[in-house]
Amino acid sequence: MNENEGPVRILFVCLGNICRSPTAQGVAEQEISRRGLQGRVEVDSAGTGSWHIGSPPDRRAVHAAADRGIDLSRQRARQVHFDDFHRFDFIMAMDEANFRDLVSMAPAGATQKVSKVLTYSDLGVAEDVPDPYYGGSHGFEQVLDLLENALGLFFDQLNMDHASGQGAR
């Protein structure tokens, strides 16, 4: 996919860009490294809201990800830009509200780039990645579990792995 046009670019989007979408970026970075896709797939994250621009991810998200070998600490929150709809090939919303906001912002012709990340999941437990911001630490583990499942399957479908082309991990 996209072989002749440089890397495949994926943007993950939530509301604040301090809990779910930074976690999605970190999970995707781990998949990219495991599958040898560095330079062939690029990932970033953003929020539909502006409250946390410039902030690092929530400490609970950083700690939960670190326990799984994923480093979120260098990320800083930013807001979705109009230009993102041109730059990215896939724009993955964490929940229905993010999805609707993105579709309403998207220029003509770019709405097909916008999806909900859990459409790639096979767990069948939820359509939305639940917002863990106002809950306890369990919520952050659940976010990681959902995203590891969905993004593992997404990368299997991309079928770009160097090793076997069949999603070997």
**Among all residues, whose Cβ is closest to ligand 4NP?**
16
DSSP class of residue 6 equals: B
Whichever of 18 and 62 has its CB closer to ligand 4NP, that residue is 18
Catalytic residue among 9, 19, 20, 161, which?
20
Report the nearest approach of ligand 4NP to the CB of residue 72 (Å). Answer: 11
9 has catalytic annotation: no
Q: 85: helix, coil or strand?
A: helix
Of the pair 128, 156, the CB lying nearest ligand 4NP is at 128
Given a contact cutoff of 8 angstroms between Cβ atoms, the answer to whether 11 and 79 are in contact is: no
Q: What torsion, rounded to 10 degrees, do the Cα atoms 148, 29, 133, 91 define?
A: -90
36 or 135: CB nearest ligand 4NP:
135
Catalytic residue among 58, 84, 101, 131: 131
Could you list the beta-strand ranges (E) of the chain: 8-14, 41-47, 90-93, 114-116
CA atoms within 13 A on the CB side of 121: 20
Asked about 131 being catalytic, the answer comes back as: yes
Please tell me which residue in 9, 14, 58, 95 is annotated as part of the active site. 14
Name the minimum Å distance from CB 9 to ligand 4NP.
21
Catalytic residue list contains 19: no
Minimal distance in Å, beta carbon 111 to ligand 4NP? 21
CA angle 166, 32, 11 (to 5 degrees): 115
To ligand 4NP, the closest distance from the beta carbon of 159 in angstroms equals: 29
**Sheet of strand 114-116: strand arrangement:** 41-47, 8-14, 90-93, 114-116
Main-chain dihedrals φ then ψ at residue 152, nearest 5 degrees: -60, -45
Which parts of this chain interact with ligand 4NP (CB under 6 A)?
14-20, 51, 131, 133
Q: Which is nearer to ligand 4NP, 9 or 20 (CB)?
A: 20
Positions annotated as catalytic residues are 14, 20, 131
